[in-house]
């Protein structure tokens, strides 16, 4: 893939909640040697998401931090309400109501937009974003939807 192209992945959560899905995707991000920023739409969601990441699996350790923890430059995963790559991140996750602005997509290797498919407003917001981005040559869009068992099925 062209290095100037940003992969934008839409994840429609249906069967499993964000607190279960996000840690698995963050673990895969770290396995690839990438750093990530998790942009959270509501600051009140940061502590429970951080707890979910810490307690995801006994055998898996996903190092991460928040503004409360400080030292962003030492954190491979950074949870924030901002999309700034203060930790040198290549990957941006937008969760809990956060949606990326079209202008902020450039410069990331990958952007993951995660939203609750059962929330009609969030679903329409994600679909509107997809429509606004699909003609851009600098983006490669992929749409994933969870089936009833929580497996990912590519939709677009």
d(CA 130, CA 139) in angstroms, rounded, equals: 11
3-class DSSP assignment, residue 90? coil
pLDDT tens for residues 5-21? 999 999 999 999 999 99
Helix or strand run (H / E) with residue 122: helix 120-133
Owner of token pair 């068992």: 149
pLDDT tens for residues 81-122? 999 999 999 999 999 999 998 888 988 999 999 999 999 999
pLDDT class for 61, splitting at 50, 70, 90?
Answer: confident
- DSSP conformation letters of 14-61: SSS-HHHHHHHHHHHHHHTT--EEEEESSGGGHHHHHHHHHTS-TT--
Quote the tokens at residue 39: 């942009």
Query: What is the DSSP pairing of strand 152-154 with strand 139-146?
Result: antiparallel
Alpha carbons within 13 A on the beta-carbon side of 44? 1
Reported pTM: 0.94
Q: Which fold has domain 6-154?
A: Rossmann fold (3.40.50)
Instruction: Measure CA 18 to chain center.
Output: 10
Residues pairing with 36 in the sheet? 77, 91
d(CA 79, CA 124) in angstroms, rounded, equals: 25
Task: Name the CA radius of gyration of the chain, rounded.
Answer: 15
| Ranges of each domain in the chain | 6-154
The predicted structure's pLDDT at residue 2: 56
């Amino acid at each position: 893939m062209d290095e100037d192209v940003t992969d934008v992945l839409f994840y429609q959560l249906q069967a499993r909640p964000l607190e279960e899905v996000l840690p698995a995707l963050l673990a895969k991000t770290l396995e690839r040697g990438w750093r990530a920023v998790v942009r959270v739409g509501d600051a009140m969601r940061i502590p429970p998401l951080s707890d979910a990441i810490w307690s995801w699996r006994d055998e898996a350790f996903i190092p991460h931090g928040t503004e409360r923890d400080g030292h962003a430059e030492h954190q491979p995963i950074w949870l924030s309400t901002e999309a700034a790559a203060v930790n040198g991140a290549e990957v941006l996750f937008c969760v809990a109501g956060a949606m990326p602005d079209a202008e902020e997509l450039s410069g990331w290797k990958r952007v993951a937009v995660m939203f609750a498919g059962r929330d009609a407003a969030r679903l329409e917001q994600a679909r509107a974003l997809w429509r606004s981005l699909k003609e851009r040559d600098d983006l490669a869009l992929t749409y994933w939807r969870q089936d009833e068992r929580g497996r990912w099925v590519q939709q677009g």
